[in-house]
Structure 1
Amino acid sequence: MAKTALITGITGQDGYYLSRLLLEKGYRVVGLVPPNRQNSLTKLGALANQVEIYALQLTDSEALTEAVKQLQPNEIYNLAAPSFVPDSWNDPLATLDLVTGTATRLLTAVRHAGLQTRFYQASSSEMFGDVDRSPQDENTPFRPKNPYAAAKLHAHWTMVHQRERYGLFACSGILYNHESPRRPANFVTRKVSIAAASIKLGLTQVLEMGNLDAKRDWGYAGDHVEAMWRMLQADEPEEYVIGTGQLHSVRELVAAAFDCVGLDWTRYVTVNPNLLRPDEHFHLVADPSKAKRQLNWEPKVSFEQLLEKMVLKDLQRLQTGSQYIVE
C-alpha cells in the first residue's frame, strides 16, 4: 500500500520538488492549500494533476485535526512559510502564526489522532543569524536577526519540545539557500538568471546589483528536498544542517550566469548603492557532515550546474512566452 505524504506549502519551490520526488517513489501526495490560494496550483504544472489537494485554512486547528484523522498520513512535511524573508518585517505577527502556529497545530493534530506519523519541520539557516563562527553545524548557537528567523526558531523549538515530551517522530532540516528555475523573481539568483537570459536575447541591456561581495551557500532545491525525505526514513528523529558547505559571492553568481550565455558580465552589470543591504557582513555557510555521515546525503548539483539550469530555463521562458516550463 502506498505511503501518504501531507505537504503544507506545496505550491512553493520546495513543495514542487518534494512532490515530484515523492511521486517518483510511489507516494500518495496530498497538499494542504488555503481556499484563497487555489490559483497558485498552476505553479505545480503537470504535477497538479498527480497530487491531491485538500482545501483548508492552516490557522483552523479543528480543520487540521480533521484532515490528519481523515488522511492518516505516514509523513507530514511542513513547508508553510513566507517565501521572501524581508517581507516578514511587514507583518511579524502573521509570519509567526503561519510558521509557528502551523507547526504547533499540525503536531497537536498528529498527537490527537493517535498516529505514528513522521513529521518534518522546515527550519532555516536564518535562525543562526549573526554568527561568530563559520561554518555552522547542529551545535551552533541560534541568534536570529529578523521576524522570519525568529518565527522559524520558535517553530523549531516547539517541534523539539513536543518530540521530547510526547515521543513524536519529529525532526527538522536547517536548510541553507537553495535555488532552482522555480525560485520567484525577487530572489537574487533568479533576478540574475532572468537578466542574463534577457540581455542575451536583446530584451534588456543592464543589470543593476547591490553588494557583489556578499556571499551565500547556494544549493539546488532538488538536492535539498531529498535530504528532507531521508530524514524521515532514519531510525531516529534528529536535526540536520543541509547545505553545500561552499560560499560563493554574488560576483561569482553573476559571472557564472552570464558565462552560460557566452557574455562578459562586466559589460552589463552596474552597482546601485540603493540596493546595498546593511546585513551582509556575516557568512552563513553549512557544515553538512552529519547529514553526509548519518543520512548518506550530499549535494549532486554544483553551483555552476545550478546556474546553468536556471539561465537555460529562463531563456526558454522568454523565447516561448511561457511562465512555467516542464523540467
Structure 2
Amino acid sequence: MKTALICGISGQDGAYLAKLLLSKGYKVFGGSRDAQMSSFGNLNHLGIRQDVETVSISINDFRSVLQTLQRTKPDEVYNLAGQSSVGLSFEQPVETLESISIGTLNLLEAIRFTGQPIQFYNAGSSECFGDTGSEAANETTPFRPRSPYGVAKAAAFWQVANYREAYRLKACTGILFNHESPLRPERFVTQKIVAAACRIAKGSSETLTLGNINIARDWGWAPDYVEAMWLMLQQEQPDDYVIATGKTCKLSDFINVVFKTVGLSWQDHVRIDNSFFRPTDIEEGHANPTKAAKELNWVANYSMETIGQIMVEEWLKKLDRNN
C-alpha cells in the first residue's frame, strides 16, 4: 500500500485527488492548517471524510513540514496548498508569495532533509505564462506572469526544477490551465455565474455583476486533472507537463451556456462593472497539452459546455435540498 500526503486537502483538487488515490488503494493523509477546526466539506460531499486521515500542517513553517513528513512517511507528496485566487493575490500579494513560493520551498527542503525516497508533485498554473496572445503555450513557452499569483507560481516552478536538477529529487510541476467542478467556491467566477443563474431561475430578482467577460480561457474538468497529477508521479523520470483541453472559450460563452441551461437569456440578468476588472489580466489563454497526451497518455474528457451543464445541475440539486 502506497501512502500519500496531500497538502491542501480542503480544496477542490485536494478532495478529488484524495478520492482517486483511495480508489487506487492508497493510504491518504490530508494536510490542512488546522485539521481540528476545518470542516472538510468537500471530503464530506464526496463521501470520503472517514477514509482520509487529516493532519495539521503549515507549509510556511519548515518545522511543521518536517515533523509531518517524519510522522506520515509518505511515498508521494502533492502540494496543492497556498492562496488560490488570482484576483485576491492583488489584494494580498505577500500572503500569496509566502504561501505558494515559501511553502513549496519548505516542502522541497524537508524532503531533501529527510532523505526519504519521496516523489513530489507541485501544482503549477497557466498564470505563469501571462498573455501569450493566440500562441498555445507548452512546456517551453517563456513565463511572463501578470499577477502576484502568477509570479508566486513561477517562483515555485523554478524551485522544483532546481531541486530536481541539483539534488535529483523526483519532483515535477503540473502547469494546469483552468479546471472547474461543483466543488469550486463561489468566489471563483465560474461558480459565481452558476450560483446566480440558478438562483435567478428559481425566482431571485438579483442581477449578476461581473468584470471583463471577454477574457478567454481553456476550461477543463477537475476530476480529469487530478488523474494527470497522479500519472506524473508514476513516470520513471520526473518532468513538467501542461495540462489542459487544448480548446479556448470566452467567459461570455460560459455565461451563455449556464443561463441557457436554466432557460434564461444572460443579457437580461448580467451587469458589467469596471471596478471588477483586475489591474492586469490575461486576455486569452491557449494551451498545447500534446506532451501529456504523448507521454502520460492523458487527454481531457469534458468540454466547457458539458462542464457548465454539470455545474448547473449540481447547484440546482443543492438549492432543492436547502428548500
TM-score by length of 1: 0.93
Distance in 2 separating the partners of 1:271 and 1:109: 46
Asked if the contact 1:195–1:204 (Cα under 8 Å) also holds between the matched residues in 2, the reply is: no
Q: Which amino acid in 2 is paired with 1:89?
A: F
Range with bigger deviation, 277-286 or 134-143: 277-286
Aligned to 1:304: 305
Deviations 1:9-58 (A, max 9, x none): 11011111111111111111101211277324233213221101111322
Taking only aligned residues, the RMSD between alpha carbons, in angstroms, comes to: 1.8
Q: Which amino acid in 2 is paired with 1:93?
A: V
Cα offset, 1:125, TM superposition: 0.5
Aligned to 2:85: 84
**Structure 1 residues 283 and 107: alpha-carbon distance in aligned structure 2, compared to 1, 3 A threshold:** same
Asked if the contact 2:132–2:286 (Cα under 8 Å) also holds between the matched residues in 1, the reply is: no
Range with bigger deviation, 30-39 or 289-298: 30-39
Q: Which amino acid in 2 is paired with 1:127?
A: C
Matches within 5 A, 1:252-291: 252-277=253-278, 279-280=280-281, 282-291=283-292
Deviations 1:222-262 (A, max 9, x none): 11111111100112111101111111112211111112222
**Structure 1 residues 56 and 205: alpha-carbon distance in aligned structure 2, compared to 1, 3 A threshold:** closer
**Structure 1 residues 67 and 275: alpha-carbon distance in aligned structure 2, compared to 1, 3 A threshold:** closer
Cα offset, 1:307, TM superposition: 0.6
Q: Which amino acid in 2 is paired with 1:28?
A: K
| Contiguous gaps of at least 5 residues in structure 2 | none
Secondary structure at 1:35's aligned position in 2?
Answer: coil
**Structure 1 residues 40 and 152: alpha-carbon distance in aligned structure 2, compared to 1, 3 A threshold:** farther
Aligned to 1:20: 19
Deviations 1:175-224 (A, max 9, x none): 11111111111111111111221111112353233333221111111111
Distance in 2 separating the partners of 1:245 and 1:91: 31
Asked if the contact 1:134–1:283 (Cα under 8 Å) also holds between the matched residues in 2, the reply is: no
Matches within 5 A, 1:1-327: 2-35=1-34, 38-45=37-44, 46-132=47-133, 134-277=135-278, 279-280=280-281, 282-321=283-322
**Structure 1 residues 92 and 36: alpha-carbon distance in aligned structure 2, compared to 1, 3 A threshold:** farther
TM-score by length of 2: 0.94
**Structure 1 residues 134 and 90: alpha-carbon distance in aligned structure 2, compared to 1, 3 A threshold:** same
Cα offset, 1:90, TM superposition: 2.6
Q: Which amino acid in 1 is paired with 2:170?
A: F
Q: Which amino acid in 1 is paired with 2:3?
A: T
| Contiguous gaps of at least 5 residues in structure 1 | 323-327
Range with bigger deviation, 195-204 or 40-49: 40-49
Secondary structure at 2:233's aligned position in 1?
Answer: helix
**Structure 1 residues 18 and 261: alpha-carbon distance in aligned structure 2, compared to 1, 3 A threshold:** same
Q: Which amino acid in 1 is paired with 2:31?
A: L
Range with bigger deviation, 37-46 or 146-155: 37-46
Same amino acid, percent of matched pairs: 41
Distance in 2 separating the partners of 1:82 and 1:266: 33
Q: Aligned residues, how many?
A: 321
Distance in 2 separating the partners of 1:122 and 1:217: 17
Asked if the contact 2:214–2:283 (Cα under 8 Å) also holds between the matched residues in 1, the reply is: no
Asked if the contact 2:59–2:104 (Cα under 8 Å) also holds between the matched residues in 1, the reply is: no
Deviations 1:85-142 (A, max 9, x none): 1212233222222111221111122122211111001110111113255110001000
Cα offset, 1:64, TM superposition: 1.5
Distance in 2 separating the partners of 1:5 and 1:249: 37
Secondary structure at 1:233's aligned position in 2?
Answer: coil
Distance in 1 separating the partners of 2:112 and 2:77: 13
Cα offset, 1:303, TM superposition: 1.1
